[in-house]
Amino acid sequence: MTSFKDVVKVFDKLEETSATLEKIRILKQLFNSVDPEEIDKLIYLTQGILHPNYLPMPPIGIAEKVAIKAISKMSRLKETNIKKIIDESGGIGNAIEKILKQRKSTKTLDSFIKKPGQAVSKEKDQSISEVYNSLDEISNQVGTGSTLKKIDLLSNLLSRSTPKEAKYILRIILGTLRMGIADMTIINALSIAFTDSKKNKEFIEEKYNICPDLGRIGKILSKKGLEGLNEINIQVGIPIKMMLAQRAKSIEDIFERMGAKFACEYKYDGERVQAHKNDNKIFLFSRNTENITKMYPDIVDAVKKLQSKTLIIEGEVVAIDPITGRIKPFQELMRRRRKHDIDQKKLEYPVELYLFDILFKNGENLLKEPYIKRRNILEKIVLESDLGENSILKLATQKIVSTNTELEQFFQDSLDQCEGLMIKSINESSIYQAGNRGYIWLKLKKSYQSKMIDSVDTVVIGAYMGRGRRGGSYGALLCAVYNKSKNLFQSICKLGSGFKDEDLERMPEIFGRLELIEKPPDIDIVAEKLVPDIWFKPEVVCSVIGDEITLSPDHRAGYNLIRENAGFAIRFPRFLGFREDKSVKDITTIEEIMELYNKQTK
C-alpha cells in the first residue's frame, strides 16, 4: 500500500515544474515507488479521473457550492467565511489547505472536532486505494438525496486528510487538477519506469491507441513488463483512438502528397461516431472516446441490423430535415445531443450515419489493411445487410479521383450538402493510423474559401506543362498583379484549378503567340521552384478567386510591404475566367491587394 500523503508531495512537485522532461522524471520515480496493485488508481487520480472515459460511469465532479457545504460541515465554518477564504487564497484547493492547517496544527481534524463520547481516532496514513474508493463512493451517489450523501462522504474524507491531501482531493473532485500531465507524458514515464528503454513508448502508445486506458496499461507494465502488453488487442466495447486528417494546403499539395490517384469522400458536417457491435450489444463512441450510446438509440437499432457478429465501424452522424431529407448544419445535431428526453428528441431531430471506415470485423483487426480493402469490406457489409432504402445507415459518397477537374467538380458537388471533401490515400501504406493526425487523410473545406472577399484580375506571365490528362499542354498558369511604382508585374499565385475542359483546350490558341524564351525584365518572381516552363508576354488577363490572401516567401507581389521576405499570395486560387474585355492596364494593383488583405476577416 502506498500512502496518499507521499503521492500529494509529488503532485506538488509536478505542479511546480513546467518542463516536460522533468515531469516525466518525477512521474517515473513515483510509478516505480508505488504498489503495483495500486498503480492503476494512482494513474487515474493523476489524470483527475476515476475510470477511463469510455465507461458509462457517473462523472466524479460535484459543484463548488456542494464542496463548500462539505467543508463547512467538516470545519464548522460558515459558508460565507469559506467563500472569503477561497477568494483570498486563489481557489478552493488552497483554501482547504489553509483551513486545515489552521485548525489541525499537529492533530488530525477527527480528534479536533470529535463529538462527546466518541473515541479519538489515531492518525493513520490513508492509502491511494482508500482515497480512490472514497471518491468512487462519492461519485456513485445518484438520484434523490444523493447530494446530502455526497456532502457527508466528502466531509468525512476531508476530515481524515492532511491539508495537502485535501487540497488535491478537492481539485480532483472539482475537475481543476491542472498539473499539465498529458497522456504522452504518462506513457513516456511508464516506458522508462518499467521497460529498459524510452523507445518502447511507441509500442505502449500503439496499445494505448486501441485501449485508451492508461490505468490498465500501467498496471500490466508494472506487473508483467512490456511483454504483458501483448494481451491487449482490439476489443469490441473499448474504443479505438480515432484517425485524424491534416489540412490540405492547396490542390497542388493534394496531388503532391497523394500521388496521381486518391479517394475523395464527402466531408459530412456532424459528429464522428465509432460504432461497436457484438451481436445485439451496441456501443457508440465519440471522437474523444466518450461513450455516447444513449444519445443515439436510432443508430443503435440500425447498427444491430448489420450482418456481422462483431464489428467496429466509423461514420459521421448528421441531422436530417424530416421533410426534405436534406442534411442540416452541425448546430442542429447539437440540439439532439442530449442526455435526457432522447425519445422525444429522436423524433424532432432525425439523424443519418454516413459510414466511411471499418476497423474490425468478426475477430479480424483491419487497422493495417489499406484503404481500398477496408472500403470494399465496408461496402460489402452495407450492401449484403439489405438495410433497405429508408435505413439511416448510408455509405459516405466516394469517388476515386485523378485529375484537377474531377477533384474540383467533386468538391463543388460536395458543397451542396457537405462542408467539403476528405481526401484519402489509396496507397498500399494507407492504413488506419489510430490516434494520429497524419497526411494519409487530408481535409479540404469550404470555409477555407470564405475569407477572400473579391476576385482578383491577374495577368498570366508563364505556364507549367501539364501531366496526366493535361500532358502536352499547359497544366497550370503563373499569374501576376501590377506594381505601379516599380512598373513590374509581380507574381501572386500558381493557378492550376477551376479550369473547365474547354478552357484547357483553348489555352494553346490563346497563349501560343505570347510564348517567350526568356523572362522579360518587367516580370518579377522570387522562388526558384516557381520558375515556369514557359514565359509569356504579359497580355492575357484572367480572373482568380482564392480562399484568402496570405503572406508567402514564394511570391513577389508587395514583397517586404507587410512582412520581411514575404509577398502577397492567393491561397487556393481558382480560375474564374479569361477577361477578354480587359487589358493588362486594368489588372489589380498592389494597392488593391493590400486593401483586400486588410479587409478580409482574420
In this structure, are strands 281-285 and 271-278 parallel, antiparallel, or unpaired? antiparallel
State whether the Cα torsion 521-522-524-528 is positive or negative: negative
- 407, 465, 472 from 253: Cα distances, Å: 13, 17, 22
State whether the Cα torsion 582-584-588-591 is positive or negative: negative
Closer residue to ligand AMP, CB minimum distance, 28 or 241? 241
- 49, 103, 143, 240 from 57: Cα distances, Å: 11, 35, 14, 19
In this structure, are strands 351-361 and 364-365 parallel, antiparallel, or unpaired? antiparallel
Closer residue to ligand AMP, CB minimum distance, 54 or 168? 54
CB of 424 to ligand AMP, least distance (A): 7
The single residue listed with the C-alpha cell 497580355 is 539
Closer residue to ligand AMP, CB minimum distance, 246 or 391? 246
Closer residue to ligand AMP, CB minimum distance, 161 or 286? 286
- 274, 341, 345 from 287: Cα distances, Å: 8, 23, 22
CB of 317 to ligand AMP, least distance (A): 9
Which residues make up the interface to ligand AMP (CB under 6 A)?
Answer: 244-245, 265, 267-268, 272, 287, 316, 356, 396, 422, 443
Closer residue to ligand AMP, CB minimum distance, 207 or 267? 267
Closer residue to ligand AMP, CB minimum distance, 391 or 398? 398
Residue whose Cβ sits closest to ligand AMP: 272
Give dist(CA 379, CA 366) in Å, integer.
14
3-state class of 543 per DSSP? strand
CB of 115 to ligand AMP, least distance (A): 56
CB of 316 to ligand AMP, least distance (A): 4
Give dist(CA 301, CA 280) in Å, integer.
9
In this structure, are strands 456-465 and 474-483 parallel, antiparallel, or unpaired? antiparallel
CB of 453 to ligand AMP, least distance (A): 23
Catalytic annotation present for 346:
no
The counts of H helices and E strands in the chain are 21, 21
Q: Which three cell numbers stand for residue 301?
A: 437499432
**Cβ–Cβ contacts within 10 Å for residue 378, how many?**
23
Closer residue to ligand AMP, CB minimum distance, 353 or 493? 353
CB of 320 to ligand AMP, least distance (A): 15
CB of 350 to ligand AMP, least distance (A): 18
CB < 8 Å & 24+ apart, contacts of 19-24: 20/185, 23/179, 23/180, 23/181, 23/185, 23/189, 24/185, 24/188, 24/189, 24/192
Residues 6+ apart with CB under 8 A from 415: 446
CB of 356 to ligand AMP, least distance (A): 4
**Cβ–Cβ contacts within 10 Å for residue 78, how many?**
10
CB of 400 to ligand AMP, least distance (A): 14
Residues 6+ apart with CB under 8 A from 562: 551, 568, 594, 597
φ/ψ region of 325 (left if φ > 0, alpha if ψ in -120 to 50, else beta) reads: left
Q: Which three cell numbers stand for residue 234?
A: 482490439
Closest CA to 331 of 344, 314, 349, 346: 349
3-state class of 567 per DSSP? strand
3-state class of 35 per DSSP? coil
Active-site residue identified among 164, 241, 267, 445:
267
Which residues participate in catalysis according to the annotation? 267
